[in-house]
Amino acid sequence: MKRNENSYKKSGVNISLANKLVKYISLISKKGVKKTKSSPKKDVIGGFGSLFDISKIKIKDPVIVSCTDGVGTKIDLANKFKKFDTIGIDLVAMCINDLIVQGAKPLFFLDYIAVGKLNLDKAKKILKGIFKGCKISDCKLIGGETAEMPGIYSKDKFDLAGFSVGIVSKKKILDKSNVNKNNIVLAIPSSGIHSNGYSLVRSILKKNKIPGNIKNELLRPTKIYSKEVLRLTRKNLINSAAHITGGGLIENLLRSVPKNLTLNINLSKIKIIKVFKWLKSKNISDHEMLKTFNCGIGFCLIVKKKNIPLIKRVFPKKYKPYEIGYISQTKNKVNLFGSLQW
């Protein structure tokens, strides 16, 4: 190549490096993965399209459920702390936890990684997290896209997006129409901040020193609830569910309650974990905390009271569900009582 000749590599896009990443993905996708009835006979990583055989999945009146999501500005903290091995778990969790709200069993996942300049080591660490998330969720990473975009993203910046597909029998779909008066609202603890509210977190970090016991909490990966929730849906123990993400507890719960019923929440029952107590101390109102963060609740179930003992048995101690409210029928859409215990 002549010295002054233009090339794609000189413009900032390294295709050969991207090809090495594809080979790496193909290699680790085969490790520790059991062959299942839905596994394609040929390796699909690197193809034009991704294959997933659903012919052997025995579900009556199957319905496909799809979700897409990202991890927001949590990726900026991953860059700041140079820790990339858990952000991929977050990406999978944000999609899978949405899928199971409707009772769907996760089938497969695709990722999108956009970078200013491809760093192979960083990308591998991100992908290890994605694979771990898929393993926890019992779904398969079948494809994705890595886009190197110089000039759009600065050299060290990146963004992530995920897309997941699940399947559920039409009769097993969790829907707010299943919710009835006197149902109980159960809260399942979060592992931490999860992947929402990080623009506010980052704003606080610019003005405050991070305590040692808080720093590790900032990148703690989002809890994936699929194993426990799907065990409950198979036994018809859940009426409705909510993934507590952007908008906080109340906004997300209201999406899972019919308009003719009232959501009653006892705020004093919420078990607030330490990272939120630290954030609250930085001059944030209770209202702002509730609508921005999960405040210690990552997922909610709306259930019949008689089912609660069976439901609690499914969860480990750390994520044991507890009652925070109930469903009634009044003129109000929501009734909040008690106060958050900081």
List, in order of start, the domains of the chain with CATH numbers. Answer: 15-172 (3.30.1330.10), 176-337 (3.90.650.10)
Residues 92-129: tens digit of each pLDDT: 999 999 999 999 999 999 999 999 999 999 999 999 99
- The gap from C-alpha 67 to its chain's centroid, in whole angstroms, comes to 10
Contact (Cβ atoms closer than 8 angstroms) between residue 61 and residue 170: yes
pLDDT greater than 70 at residue 39: no
What pLDDT score was predicted for residue 317?
Answer: 96
Token pair of 152, please?
Answer: 């759009």
Q: Which of 147, 111, 148, 109 is nearest to 127 (CA)?
A: 111
What pLDDT score was predicted for residue 5?
Answer: 76
Give the pLDDT band of residue 16 (cuts 50, 70, 90): confident
Q: At what angle do helices 198-205 and 74-81 cross, to 10 degrees?
A: 40
pLDDT greater than 70 at residue 212: yes
pLDDT greater than 90 at residue 34: no
Q: How many Cα atoms within 13 Å fall on the side-chain side of residue 236?
A: 4
322-328 and 184-189 strand pairing = antiparallel
What pLDDT score was predicted for residue 18?
Answer: 77
Contact (Cβ atoms closer than 8 angstroms) between residue 248 and residue 294: yes
Token pair of 29, please?
Answer: 């996708």
What is the share, in percent, of the chain residues with pLDDT greater than 70? 93
Between 77 and 21, where is the model more confident? 77
The DSSP output letter for 317 is G
Q: Which of 338, 255, 244 is nearest to 297 (CA)?
A: 244
Taking residues 211-226, report their average pLDDT.
Answer: 94
Helical spans, DSSP H, in 111-172: 120-137
pLDDT greater than 60 at residue 41: no
Contact (Cβ atoms closer than 8 angstroms) between residue 52 and residue 38: yes
- Round the average pLDDT of the chain to a whole number and report it: 92
Using CA atoms, how far apart are residues 306 and 190, in angstroms rounded to an integer? 24
Q: Which of 25, 175, 8, 197 is nearest to 110 (CA)?
A: 25
The DSSP output letter for 125 is H
pLDDT greater than 90 at residue 37: no
- SS3 call for 339: coil
What pLDDT score was predicted for residue 20?
Answer: 80
Token pair of 297, please?
Answer: 């609740």
How many angstroms separate the Cα of 270 from the Cα of each of 49, 67, 127, 148, 299?
45, 28, 34, 43, 12
Q: Which of 334, 169, 337 is nearest to 258 (CA)?
A: 334
Residues 253-281: tens digit of each pLDDT: 999 999 999 999 999 999 999 999 999 99
DSSP structure string for 290-306: HHHS-TTEEEEEEE-GG
Give the pLDDT band of residue 35 (cuts 50, 70, 90): low
Taking residues 17-35, report their average pLDDT.
Answer: 70
Contact (Cβ atoms closer than 8 angstroms) between residue 340 and residue 275: no
Give the pLDDT band of residue 1 (cuts 50, 70, 90): low
Taking residues 63-90, report their average pLDDT.
Answer: 97
